[in-house]
Amino acid sequence: HMKGSIFDLDGVIVDTAKYHFLAWRELAKELGFEFTEEHNERLKGVSRMESLRILLEIGGVQATEAEQQCMAQEKNDRYVKYISQLDESELLPGVRTYLTGLRMRGIGIALGSASKNAEFILERLQIASLFDAVIDGNKVSKAKPDPEVFLKGCEALRLDPSHCVVFEDAAAGVQAGKAAGCGVVGIGRPEILSEADLVVSGLIDLVK
Ligand code: G16
Ligand code: MG
């Protein structure tokens, strides 16, 4: 049975993908090409530098390492401007109720996100205090589907992975959770998340 829970951020707790999209699209425009929402799907759950690499490939743009650092910084500055406006109203349905319920049952709660802006986002959404641990892009070196982020989450909660459940919206995240030895609840479409133990459309489905 579940003693600990580990949540992905984007797509599970909040839809930050739309702000990542706006920031990447602005960068692409400056570089002289169009970046679409369909392109953006490829960046979900992917680290900042890997996202940039994919974006440059889509645009057929060559850039030196130094130029890429500069572009990533510029994208992040734009992104941070958007997420500075975040507030509680952008929590996905059921999030606060579900997390509060877990706390009342004494279940540990951790975040397992690729984002380096995760702490700031939790603060903006006013849910930072609900988390016992935050494992984010600053603390991991290997991206999902590598299990590192979730193994570190279990470790921070001082629990064996077999007692932890991961909540994920991306296929790579579901794989990472399974590879860590955790139970996995997929959030989204069953076709994409078939490796999960259970798939729901949102945390709201788990709140009764
Ligand atoms: C999130 C998003 C990705 C983003 C990544 C890094 O992952 O899904 O699109 O590229 O974080 O974000 P940042 O540029 O803020 O470090 P997750 O794991 O929360 O779904
Ligand atoms: Mg996600």
> What's residue 30's pLDDT?
98
pTM of the model: 0.95
Q: What is the mean pLDDT of the chain?
A: 97
- Of the residues 54, 113, 146, which should be mutated to test ligand 1's pocket, given the most ligand atoms within 8 Å of the CB? 113
CA atoms within 13 A on the CB side of 195: 17
Predicted confidence at residue 208, as pLDDT, reads: 76
The residue whose C-alpha atom lies closest to atom 3 belonging to ligand 1 is: 45
Does any ligand 1 atom lie closer than 6 A to the CB of residue 40? no
State residue 82's pLDDT score. Answer: 98
Residue % of the chain over a pLDDT of 90: 97
Determine the pLDDT at residue 1: 85
Looking at ligand 1, which atom is closest to the CA of residue 20? Answer: 9
Residue nearest to atom 14 of ligand 1 (CA): 48
Q: Kindly give the distance from the C-alpha atom of residue 117 to the centroid of ligand 2, in angstroms, as a whole number.
A: 13
Per residue in 68-89, pLDDT (tens digit) is 999 999 999 999 999 999 999 9
Give the Å distance between the CA of 181 and the centre of ligand 2: 19
| Token pair recorded at residue 204 | 């709201």
What is the share, in percent, of the chain residues with pLDDT greater than 70? Answer: 100
pLDDT in tens, 175-205: 999 999 999 999 999 998 999 999 999 999 9
CA atoms within 13 A on the CB side of 101: 10
Q: Name the pLDDT band for 127 (thresholds 50, 70, 90).
A: very high
For this structure, is 77 an active site residue?
A: no
Is the pLDDT at 132 greater than 80? The verdict is yes
Annotated active-site residue 15? The verdict is: no
The pLDDT of residue 156 is above 80: yes
pLDDT band at 38 (very low <50, low <70, confident <90, very high): very high
pLDDT at position 48 over 80: yes
Whether the pLDDT of residue 45 is over 90: the answer is: no
Q: Is the ipTM of this complex over 0.90?
A: yes
For residue 133, pLDDT over 90 is answered with yes
